[in-house]
Amino acid sequence: MIAHSRPTLDEDDAREVARVVRSGQLAQGPEVEAFERELAPWFGAPAAAAVSSGSAALELALRALDVGPGQEVIVPTFACDALWHAVTRCGATPVLADADAETLSLAPADAARRRTPRTRAVVVVHAFGLAADVDAFLALGVPVVEDCAQALGARAGGRPVGARGAAAVGSFYATKLLTTGEGGAVAGPAARVARARDARDYDEREDLRPRFNYKMTDMQAALGRAQLRRLDAFLARRRAIAARYRAALGGLPGLGLPPDAGARHVHHRFVVTVERPLTPVLEHLARRGVAARRPVFRPIHRALGLGGYPEAERLWARCLSLPCYPRLSDAEVDAVAAALAEAVGA
């Protein structure tokens, strides 16, 4: 079976983690500090704080913006549930907005429509590796949190994703663009990042302000540093895979391909649209040994029994995520493309 996603690990990763294990300094320490220094420029930010997960990073970024009870945060419905949970853990109310047909991210017009005097922030996900137009959300006049979990290394207007908003977050789960196993980061202005860094650890503090055990370990940070040294190569391979898919699948009837957006797209996912029911297509791919999936498990509004999000509904019914990761061989890319061509009846 050709996996939908896999981590990209090598002997250098293992050596770096083993080095930390042998040192005896396992918990948060100098490796985390070094990882934060090396990571911040990738967000175009002055500072970064490494934390235990991307979900923790979202919560701490919102808390650093003083998001709390009685306030609202606009989030995309065509996204993972982590956004909803982060907002509710802050005591605020998530306000769902519809998806954009072209970027698959948050629709600026719908976000603007849902803004109220209680809106404290908007979370913009750079969906599946494509940099969204942050300017459209800055115009809302509320702080923008850039969710770069799937787009670290993408650039728009000559600047990295993460550089435009009030704060940015990243995720380093096993199958993200780089991995620390589990992990995440908050990036942005030094003072704001300092607030996130303060809140990730509750031990030995004079006051009882809300704090958490959201620390990253030195073992994880050592893996992250080794991965970060190869991130440019990882992204180059992802773009090469995307180009190979485009060459093989371009022109097939009833199949839409993601944009060839150059530096704006790092292809964390290669998401196509299929103008036919997805279940038979997924079943055909599985019979051919290809694991594919919807890029979003289900839109958040569906879990709440809500309507009024037509574009997210359409995308959920038609979007298909194909295998796209650095360890995928050219032969496997060709096999996936051939199987999909059969599935759509080309």
Half-sphere exposure for 229 (CA within 13 Å, toward CB)? 11
Give Cα separations from 31 to 56, 180, 225, 299 (angstroms): 19, 12, 8, 37
User: Which residues are bridge partners to 170 per DSSP?
Assistant: 185
Nearest to 322 by CA among 314, 306, 334: 334
Q: Evaluate if residue 346 carries a pLDDT over 80.
A: no
Exposure of 15 by Cβ count < 10 A (0-12 exposed, 13-18 middle, 19+ buried)? exposed
Nearest to 76 by CA among 294, 264, 311, 320: 311
Please tell me the predicted confidence (pLDDT) of residue 259: 87
DSSP state of 216: P
Nearest to 130 by CA among 99, 94, 164, 155: 155
238-241, Cβ contacts within 8 angstroms, sequence gap of 24 or more: 238/129, 238/177, 238/266, 238/267, 238/268, 238/324, 238/325, 238/326, 239/265, 239/266, 239/267, 241/267, 241/270, 241/324, 241/325, 241/328, 241/333
pLDDT in tens, 189-227: 999 999 999 999 999 999 999 999 999 999 999 999 999
CA dist 49 and 53 (Å) reads: 11
User: Which residues are bridge partners to 124 per DSSP?
Assistant: 146
Q: Evaluate if residue 40 carries a pLDDT over 80.
A: yes
Q: What domains can be seen in the chain, in order of their start residue?
A: 11-228 (3.40.640.10), 231-343 (3.90.1150.10)
CA torsion through residues 206, 208, 213, 216, sign: negative
**pTM for this model (two decimals):** 0.97
The helix (run of H) or strand (run of E) holding residue 169 is strand 167-171
pLDDT in tens, 59-109: 999 999 999 999 999 999 999 999 999 999 999 999 999 999 999 999 999
Buried b (16+ CB within 10 A) or exposed e, 263-279: ebbbbbbbbbbbeeebe
% the chain with pLDDT above 90: 99
